[in-house]
């Protein structure tokens, strides 16, 4: 076998790999299914065994706890009112009962009806005289007159982890006289340790858990005694056990070890015994089987590969000989020769078909060259559409006559130059370069859009630019841009906008644009809390001018009034022609105080009134006659409203200003009146 036969493009290699893939996938599918079924069965069997052990251990723990309750109860039944009143005798009596001290490694203590210790065995625990009513289980015995097993706690006297068992001491009439309590220290050898160690195997372990406190009472691993379990939600399976589930399950324990756990409740206390076994130990036989299966699969795979390749070499040798002949065909630019047909079989018919295909491709290549020449000629001469071609680094490869006219560069100047420096403005170059890099990496052309590009003279021209990414076989990618000049369209759009929103005579905003700006001013007032003002002006002496000199002179006056109004306000304010000889001035962003805003508006209104009242020198031009100078005196009646957004609608504001203007006219004209002003 030659190494070149192993290359990925070899038919033998591909077929061999395909067969091996089917073989390996099939074997591993079977192995996976078998291991999963075996794991499931083993988990069920081990779970049943563990649950049986946990149940037995829970029964032993429950029995030992009951024995201790009974032992305390038996001693408590021998105590009466008189015994509880003689502390010294009671102390001696407790010390004389070593069986209780052997049952409770933390000692035994007698407490009176108030929960105060009056006798303690052994006395070295120093509990006599201490009140223990604050302990839940002591308080429960005193309150409910029944035996109680406490939750695991840190003892207030011994300062060590443990739990207590308390039984009531009653007199002959059943009246509660006190409590007899036994203490089990968990940090010292105790009966729970002996029980758990008696059940301990080679692997895994046991836990005794107080679910209400989420606390480990004792464990095979002594380091886990009094360990607090994670909070609710950290482990759903652990929460399920704590909520009372009895059975087996697999989960990751608080020490991040996957274990098979079985739990059984201790009836007397509500605690539960948990038997745990790491799954790495539980399922080790499965892992060993998988390793053996892997080894067998590798050996069988190699054997199948050798046999498959040998069979393919024999069956495909005629086809491989034909492939070598095809590989020796002449390169581009030379005449293609027909391949010899050795036999009239499948391979022979394949080669004959290939010979026919070569002949067809030669004809198509000639046709393609002719079509490409015609296409480039059309692109060179097409009028009104600028077409440019670029390499992926931005180098210009094509530049038609329309591009020369649009951008000012001749074809000889543009070819070989770079797109970024020729027609892309400096502020766009980084984004265009990034888009071209993205296009080169992904093969996706830049999206069509309107752009403002740069001409040779440094000006800007608006174009609608579309892009096509060509991928010639065996050649680098090439981008073609088709740009259409939008200059005339933009000018037409601007003219339409002017006609729609501006007065044709004065160039001021018309009523429509005034409404839009009034809405904006009211919205801004709502956000900022600043007042605004709107003035409604009507010229007082306009009609006589029209009657005496004609409308053309009246138009001159209106143009001059518009100019004077613009000089009296800020750039941010609005001067609009409302219609005829009526004008509107809107002042925005005054003050947050109405009085101050009114003062500002009054000052501007007075400035406007004075400016409008100045004499007008109007030059009237007549075709074929000398220009005539017309002097005219005109004043204005001005109505003003100071407002905020919440005081009324747009129509209300205009109506208030209009009403104030009529008050100014009624007051003798050439004056200013405010909305709400008396007189």
pLDDT digits (tens, 9 = 90+) for 168-181: 999 888 889 999 99
pLDDT at 188 over 80: yes
Report the candidate in 197, 123, 137, 194 with the shortest Cα–Cα distance to residue 168: 137
**Whole-number pLDDT of residue 324:** 62
Residues of the chain above pLDDT 90, percent: 25
**88 domain residue, yes or no:** yes
Question: Domain boundary at 366, 381, 396, which?
Answer: 381
pLDDT exceeds 80 at position 286: no
For residue 83, being part of any structural domain is answered with yes
Pick from 104-113, 180-189, 541-550: least confident = 541-550
pLDDT value, residue 608: 96
Contacts of 152 (CB under 8 A, 6+ apart): 161, 162, 163, 186, 210, 213, 215, 217, 226
- At residue 192, does pLDDT exceed 70? yes
At residue 133, does pLDDT exceed 70? yes
Between residues 495 and 191, which one has the greater pLDDT? Answer: 191
- Give the pLDDT of residue 292: 76
Res 630: pLDDT: 86
Q: Of the given ranges (40-54, 189-203, 402-416), which has the lowest mean pLDDT? A: 189-203
516 and 602 assigned to the same domain: yes
* Distance in angstroms (rounded) separating the CA atoms of residues 182 and 106: 7
Containing structural domain, residue 602: 502-674
Is this model's pTM higher than 0.85 or not? no
- Please tell me whether residues 387 and 377 are part of one structural domain: no
Do both 474 and 596 map to the same domain? no
Which of 458, 488, 518 is the last residue in one of the domains? 488
pLDDT (tens digit per residue) in 43-53: 788 788 888 88
CATH no. for residue 130?
Answer: 3.30.450.20
pLDDT for residue 488 is more than 90: no
Q: Based on the domain organization, do 523 and 646 belong to the same domain?
A: yes
Mean pLDDT on 449-455: 84
The answer to the question of residue 116 being in a domain is: yes
- Between 71 and 469, the more confident residue is 71
Residue 512 covered by a domain: yes
Q: How many structural domains comprise the chain?
A: 4
DSSP-derived secondary structure letter, 215 = E
Tell me what percent of the residues of the chain surpass a pLDDT of 70: 82
The mean pLDDT value for 203-221 works out to 85
Q: List own/partner pairs for 163-167 with CB under 8 A and 24 or more apart.
A: 163/217, 164/106, 164/135, 164/137, 164/138, 165/65, 165/68, 165/69, 165/72, 165/104, 165/137, 166/72, 166/137, 166/138, 166/140, 166/141, 167/69, 167/72, 167/73, 167/76, 167/141
Mean pLDDT to the nearest integer, 99-119: 89
Whole-number pLDDT of residue 178: 93
Q: Which residue has the higher pLDDT, 228 or 124?
A: 228
Domain boundary among 466, 488, 510: 488
Question: pLDDT at residue 639 above 80?
Answer: yes
Of 257-271, 311-325, 457-471, 641-655, the range with the lowest mean pLDDT is 311-325
Distances (CA, A) of 337 to 325, 456, 637: 11, 53, 100
pLDDT at 418 over 70: yes
Query: Does pLDDT of 1 surpass 80?
Result: no
Q: Are 260 and 47 in contact (CB under 8 A)?
A: yes
Q: What is the DSSP letter of 231?
A: P
Residue 285 within any structural domain of the chain: no
In this structure, are 470 and 527 located in the same domain? no
Q: How confident is the model at residue 452 (pLDDT cuts 50, 70, 90)?
A: confident
Asked if 516 and 635 sit in the same domain, the reply is yes
Q: Are residues 522 and 458 in the same domain?
A: no
Q: Which residues contact 482 (CB under 8 A, 6 or more apart)?
A: 385, 386, 387, 465, 466, 467, 468
Residues 337/330, Cβ–Cβ less than 8 Å = yes
pLDDT of 549 strictly over 80: yes
pLDDT at 476 (0 to 100): 78
Residue 464's DSSP bridge partners are: 450, 484
Q: In this structure, is residue 666 part of a structural domain?
A: yes
Is the confidence at residue 342, as pLDDT, over 90? no
Q: What is the pLDDT of residue 434?
A: 85
Q: Within a 13 Å sphere around the CA of 408, how many CA atoms are in the beta-carbon half?
A: 11
Of 83 and 599, the structure prediction assigns the larger pLDDT to 599
pLDDT exceeds cutoff 70 at 633: yes
Q: What distance in Å separates the CA atoms of residue 375 and residue 381, rounded to the nearest whole number?
A: 10
Residue 451 has pLDDT above 90, yes or no: no
The pLDDT, as a whole number, for residue 390 is 83
Of 274-278, 334-338, 340-344, 405-409, least confident by mean pLDDT is 334-338
Residue-wise pLDDT tens digits, 309-318: 676 666 556 5
Residue with tokens 């053309």: 552
- What stretches of 562-655 adopt beta strand conformation (E)? 574-579, 582-587, 616-622, 625-632, 636-643
Most confident of 156-160, 385-389, 445-449, 596-600: 596-600
Mean pLDDT of the 220-230 span:
84
The average pLDDT across 110-133 equals: 88
Helix axis angle for 487-501 and 511-528, nearest 10°, is 80
Q: Does the pLDDT at position 602 exceed 90? A: yes
pLDDT at position 606: 95
251 in Cβ contact with 259 (< 8 Å): yes
pLDDT of residue 111: 93
Mean pLDDT of the chain: 82
* Per-residue model confidence (pLDDT) at position 669: 92
For the cut 80, the answer to whether the pLDDT of residue 243 exceeds it is yes
494 or 469, higher pLDDT = 469
Reported confidence tier of residue 321, pLDDT bands at 50, 70, 90: low
Identify which has the larger pLDDT, 262 or 381: 262
Which pLDDT does position 431 carry in this prediction?
Answer: 86
369 and 417 co-located in one domain:
no
Enclosing H/E stretch for 286: helix 284-327
pLDDT value, residue 366: 65
In a domain, 259, yes or no: no
Question: 426 and 480: one domain?
Answer: yes
Same domain, 115 and 177: yes
pLDDT band with cut points at 50, 70 and 90 for residue 322: low
pLDDT at 410 over 70: yes
Q: Are 393 and 370 part of one and the same domain?
A: no
Q: Are residues 399 and 373 in the same domain?
A: no
Residue 267 lies in a domain: no
């Amino acid at each position: 076998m030659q190494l070149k036969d192993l290359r990925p493009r070899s038919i033998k290699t591909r077929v061999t790999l395909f067969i091996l893939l089917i073989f390996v996938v099939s074997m591993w599918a079977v192995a996976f299914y078998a291991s999963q079924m075996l794991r499931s069965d083993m988990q069920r069997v081990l779970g049943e065994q563990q649950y049986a052990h946990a149940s037995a251990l829970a029964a032993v723990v429950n029995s030992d706890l009951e024995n201790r309750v009974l032992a305390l109860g038996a001693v408590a039944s021998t105590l009466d009112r008189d015994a509880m009143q003689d502390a010294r005798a009671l102390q001696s009596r407790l010390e004389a009962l070593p069986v209780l001290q052997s049952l409770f490694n933390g000692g035994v203590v007698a407490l009176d009806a108030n929960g105060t210790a009056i006798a303690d065995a052994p006395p070295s625990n120093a509990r006599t005289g201490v009140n223990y009513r604050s302990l839940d289980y002591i308080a429960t015995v005193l309150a409910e007159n029944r035996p109680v097993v406490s939750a695991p706690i840190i003892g207030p006297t011994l300062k060590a982890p443990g739990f207590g068992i308390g039984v009531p001491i009653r007199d002959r009439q059943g009246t509660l006289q006190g409590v007899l309590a036994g203490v089990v220290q968990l940090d010292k050898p105790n009966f729970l340790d002996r029980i758990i160690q008696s059940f301990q195997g080679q692997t895994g372990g046991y836990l005794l858990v107080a679910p209400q406190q989420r606390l480990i009472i004792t464990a095979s691993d002594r380091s886990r005694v009094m360990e607090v379990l994670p909070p609710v939600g950290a482990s759903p399976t652990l929460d399920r056990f704590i909520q009372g589930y009895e059975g087996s399950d697999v989960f990751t324990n608080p020490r991040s070890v996957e274990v098979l756990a079985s739990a059984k409740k201790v009836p007397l206390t509500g605690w539960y015994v948990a038997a745990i076994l790491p799954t790495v130990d539980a399922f080790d036989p499965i892992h060993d089987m998988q390793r053996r299966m892997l080894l067998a699969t590798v050996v069988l795979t190699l054997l199948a590969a050798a046999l498959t390749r040998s069979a393919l070499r024999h069956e495909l040798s005629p086809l491989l000989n034909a492939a070598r002949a095809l590989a020796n065909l002449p390169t581009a630019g030379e005449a293609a020769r027909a391949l010899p047909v050795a036999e009239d079989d499948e391979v022979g018919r394949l080669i004959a078909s290939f010979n026919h295909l070569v002949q067809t491709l030669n004809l198509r290549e000639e046709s393609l060259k002719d079509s490409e020449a015609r296409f480039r000629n059309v692109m060179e001469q097409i009028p009104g559409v600028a077409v440019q071609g670029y390499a992926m680094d931005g180098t210009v490869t094509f530049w038609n006559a329309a591009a020369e006219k649009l951008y000012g560069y001749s074809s000889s100047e543009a070819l070989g130059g770079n797109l970024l420096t020729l027609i892309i403005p400096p502020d766009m170059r980084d984004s265009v370069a990034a888009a071209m890099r993205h296009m080169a990496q992904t093969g996706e052309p830049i999206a069509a859009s309107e752009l403002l590009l740069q001409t040779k003279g440094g000006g800007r021209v608006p174009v609608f630019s579309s892009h096509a990414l060509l991928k010639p076989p065996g050649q680098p990618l090439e981008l073609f841009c088709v740009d259409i000049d939008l200059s005339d369209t933009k000018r037409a759009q601007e003219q339409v906008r002017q006609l729609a929103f501006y007065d044709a005579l004065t160039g001021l905003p018309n009523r429509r644009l005034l409404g839009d700006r009034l809405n904006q001013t009211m919205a801004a007032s709502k956000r900022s809390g600043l007042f605004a003002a709107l003035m409604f002006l009507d010229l007082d002496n306009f009609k006589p001018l029209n009657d005496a000199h004609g409308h053309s002179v009246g138009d001159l006056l209106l143009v001059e009034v518009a100019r004077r109004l613009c000089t009296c306000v800020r750039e941010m304010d609005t001067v609009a022609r409302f219609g005829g000889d009526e004008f509107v001035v809107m002042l925005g962003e005054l003050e947050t105080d109405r009085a101050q805003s009114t003062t500002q508006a009054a000052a501007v209104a007075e400035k406007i009134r004075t400016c409008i009242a100045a004499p007008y020198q109007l030059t009237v031009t007549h075709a074929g006659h000398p220009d005539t100078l017309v002097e005219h005196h005109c004043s204005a009646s001005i109505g003003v409203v100071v407002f905020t957004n919440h005081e009324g609608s747009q129509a209300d504001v205009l109506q208030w200003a209009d009403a104030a203007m009529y008050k100014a006219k009624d007051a003798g004209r050439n004056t200013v009146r405010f909305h709400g002003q008396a007189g």
